[in-house]
Amino acid sequence: MKHTYNYLVVLLFVPCLAWSQDSSIGGAFGSDGRYSVSGPVEVNGTVVGLENRPLDDVRVELRDTDTGQVVSTTYTLPNGSFAFERIPPGPYTVTAVAGLKQTQERVMIGMGARLTVRMPIAKEPQGGDQATISVSQLKVPDDARDNFEKAQKAFRKGELEKAQKYNEKALRIFPEYGQALTLEGILSMDQGKKDEARELLEKAVNADSSYGLGFIALGSVYNLFHRFDDALRVLDRGLSLAPNMWQGFFESAKALLGKGDFKGALQETDRARQLVPDKFAPIHLVRADAFIGLNNFPAAITELKEYLGQDPEGEKAAVVRRALDQLSSEKAGQ
């Protein structure tokens, strides 16, 4: 089984934008002809907690009330705002999820909408020690913060060049901006610049030790270098600050897989799958590799088929098919 295992390892420890998969603002699925008169619109909103305090990193889901289909999913920005683009007018259900808290409202979207979603939460769901974060954020000038928020919004839309432009402006204004350093590291990771990403993210966690995403992104880079013990160390810190961030569990699963802890890797993928807002095909690669390590080839075959069912034309699909063919032939020869 050595060659099959190597196929999958190549896929797992390469840079990918797992960081934007759950927060990109996708277009609507479309609807029947009833809503075609007005055309698609942009929907903007804000999620607030107790005392109208904006809530950061809350998952917001827009579901067509008639069909039950999820039209789009995004996360709130630091100022609590969110946006959905190209939404056909009609009845929708807006769901905001923060940890175990969930709020659901029905809305009618017409020529555009401005929504306010209220949740019974006293603080941001993933911020860890909010007092520490507040002290750190007090150092950031307003113009640096404004540019970072523009960069973050562009990143979530998949507009990576635009995100980098705004983020670099934020860092020129305030070079020790932990959140902006984190985003810069993630962008470098996506461009295949592993060394640069590692340096940026190590600087980011030193600049802001209360920002969970920084530690989780750094854990992802350590995985690329096969520094699995270091990855697990920083991922544990990141998840203590951001316990609802599925990427942390996904990267922990990869690190455990690299260490040969196949059962532990499967447990971490189970945690990730409970939190990921949409289907994320690479999770099935981790699970397939873990099942191969446990000599459970039927389960590995199932996971590879699940991967291809979710991403049949992706850049990794051809390699997965070769691994699947080899697994299937070796299973038949047993």
Domains present along the chain, CATH in parentheses = 2-22+127-332 (1.25.40.10), 33-118 (2.60.40.10)
pLDDT in tens, 108-148: 876 555 788 888 776 544 433 333 443 556 688 999 999 99
Q: Residue 173: CB partners within 8 Å, gap ≥ 6?
A: 141, 143, 144, 147
> Rg for the chain (alpha carbons), in Å?
21
In the structure encoding, which two tokens stand for residue 307, read together? Answer: 């991967």
327 and 300 Cβ atoms separated by less than 8 Å: yes
Which residue carries 């996708």 as its tokens? 26
Say how many CA atoms lie within 13 Å of 68 toward its Cβ. Answer: 0
What is the distance in angstroms between the CA of the first residue and the CA of the last residue of the chain? Answer: 12
Q: How many residues does the chain have?
A: 334
| Strand, helix or coil for residue 64 | strand
Question: In the prediction, which pLDDT does 334 show?
Answer: 57
Assess whether pLDDT exceeds 70 at residue 21.
no
Q: How far apart are CA 117 and CA 108, in angstroms?
A: 14
The kind and range of the H/E element at 172 are helix 160-173
pLDDT tops 70 at residue 95: yes
pLDDT band at 333 (very low <50, low <70, confident <90, very high): low
d(CA 91, CA 93): 7
Pairing outcome for strands 41-48 and 113-118:
parallel
Closest to 95 (Cα-Cα) out of 119, 114, 79, 112: 119
Asked if the model's pLDDT at residue 237 lies above 50, the reply is yes
- What does the block give as tokens for 189? 């990771």
Taking the whole predicted model, whether its pTM rises above 0.75 is answered as: no
Average pLDDT value for residue range 3-18: 43
Residue 287 corresponds to which amino acid? Answer: R
